[in-house]
Amino acid sequence: MEEEIIQPIDKALLKRELSAERQLRMTNKSHNEIYIVTAHEAPNVMKEIGRLREIAFRSAGGGTGKAMDIDNFDTMENGCKQLIVWNPEAEEIIGGYRYLFGSDWKIDTKGQPVLATSHMFHFSDQFMKEYAPYTVELGRSFVSLEYQNVRTNSKSIFALDNLWDGLGALTIINPKCKYFFGKMTMYPSYIRKGRDMILYFLKKHFDDKDNLIVPIKPLKIDTSEDELSAIFCENDFKKDYRILNREIRHLGYNIPPLVNAYMSLSPTMKLFGTAINCGFGEVEETGILIAVDEILEDKRVRHIDSFVKEHPEALYITSGANKVIYKDKP
């Protein structure tokens, strides 16, 4: 049985904890502020994050069912940090992520990282040696319910954009950060045929052939592979994407915004398969990895360029994997 969600935290308490030294940057759009906090240094902000996360996830068909979405990964010593976007005019949180750099991951006796995703995915030795030290795990991405509707709130249009301004800055405050690891979430309420088409399309164009990370219990789709391969018959991402968009619309749905956003970030995104998150409303989580320097140039410029003016060292952060984007690099 779902618990009643807690009441909003007093704004004066939130403002007191969102002090100047915890501000990371201003957003490029809408003049909002980005902060980084932890549950220990900002307990009231953490409660408000937990309240807003639970509202957002529950409304979409997920969530913990508890009064607020806060777990051990938020509260443990050296646990996740919280990146939030704050609207200084309305004095409220627009959205957020939690994150943990690979250098801070705890490792269990089997060599597996102790992460919120560990019960769903197995991490290969190759990933742990070659990727983990340079990776930041992102999770619990949310946009507050009041900022999910552009018609009722003009600032909604830039909510996700604001969050990515913060993610761009993470690659600067930690120069070792070369990869974003996270999950794309789909909810059980989404039409099954549409889900199967999206997952097939993503696997066709982004599948990780190295088995760096694999689902412990992979999700089995309902639609036959023969049927899906007949639908997505092109050898071109853009042509297949047009087919996907058309077919999903024919079903009366849209491609989920975050799925759309992630697949347009980088042509070399790695997809690790999908697992069911049993402790979070049975949502379907698809693991992904994005190399920071292989994010399309216009996206990098948009979310990092303004921050780079104050931190020119950001120009030198690259794993060296992409020689096309950085034409002026040796």
pLDDT of residue 315: 56
Q: How many domains does the chain have?
A: 1
Provide the pLDDT confidence category of residue 322 given band limits of 50, 70 and 90: very low
Query: Which is more confident, 150 or 105?
Result: 105
Asked, for residue 296, whether it belongs to a domain, the answer is yes
Q: How many residues appear in the chain?
A: 330
Provide the pLDDT confidence category of residue 184 given band limits of 50, 70 and 90: very high
Residue 54: is its pLDDT beyond 80? yes
Asked, for residue 112, whether it belongs to a domain, the answer is yes
Yes or no: say if 141 and 229 are a contact pair by the CB < 8 Å rule: no
Provide the pLDDT confidence category of residue 225 given band limits of 50, 70 and 90: very high
Q: Which domain holds residue 121?
A: 11-306
Asked, for residue 320, whether it belongs to a domain, the answer is no
Cα–Cα distance between 12 and 76 in angstroms, integer? 26
Provide the pLDDT confidence category of residue 320 given band limits of 50, 70 and 90: very low
Helix 237-250 with 192-206: angle, nearest 10 deg: 180
Residue pLDDT, tens place only, 114-162: 999 999 999 999 999 999 999 999 999 999 999 987 666 666 778 989 9
Residue pLDDT, tens place only, 74-90: 999 999 999 999 999 99
pLDDT of residue 279: 80
Burial 267-279 (b: 16+ CB within 10 A, else e): eebbbbbbbbbee
Lowest mean pLDDT across 16-30, 31-45, 141-155, 209-223:
141-155
Yes or no: say if 100 and 137 are a contact pair by the CB < 8 Å rule: yes
Asked, for residue 322, whether it belongs to a domain, the answer is no
Give the SS3 label for residue 157.
Answer: helix
Residue pLDDT, tens place only, 260-314: 888 888 999 999 999 999 888 889 999 999 999 898 888 888 887 667 666 665 5
Tell me the HSE value of 178 on the side-chain side, using a 13 A CA sphere: 13
Give the SS3 label for residue 240.
Answer: helix
Residues 6+ apart with CB under 8 A from 300: 168, 293, 325
- The chain-wide mean pLDDT, for the chain, equals 90
Lowest mean pLDDT across 37-41, 105-109, 169-173:
169-173
Cα–Cα distance between 39 and 252 in angstroms, integer? 41
Yes or no: say if 57 and 96 are a contact pair by the CB < 8 Å rule: no
* CA–CA distances in Å: residue 316 to residues 2, 135, 319, 326: 48, 17, 9, 10
Domain of 298, CATH number, reads 3.40.630.30
**Using CA atoms in the order 261, 266, 272, 275, what is the torsion angle rounded to 10 degrees?**
0
Q: What is the pTM of this model?
A: 0.89
Cα–Cα distance between 213 and 61 in angstroms, integer? 26
Yes or no: say if 303 and 201 are a contact pair by the CB < 8 Å rule: no
Give the SS3 label for residue 10.
Answer: coil
pLDDT of residue 112: 98
Asked, for residue 194, whether it belongs to a domain, the answer is yes
Asked, for residue 215, whether it belongs to a domain, the answer is yes
Asked, for residue 5, whether it belongs to a domain, the answer is no
Asked, for residue 3, whether it belongs to a domain, the answer is no
Residue 96: is its pLDDT beyond 90? yes
Q: Please tell me what DSSP assigns to residue 218.
A: B
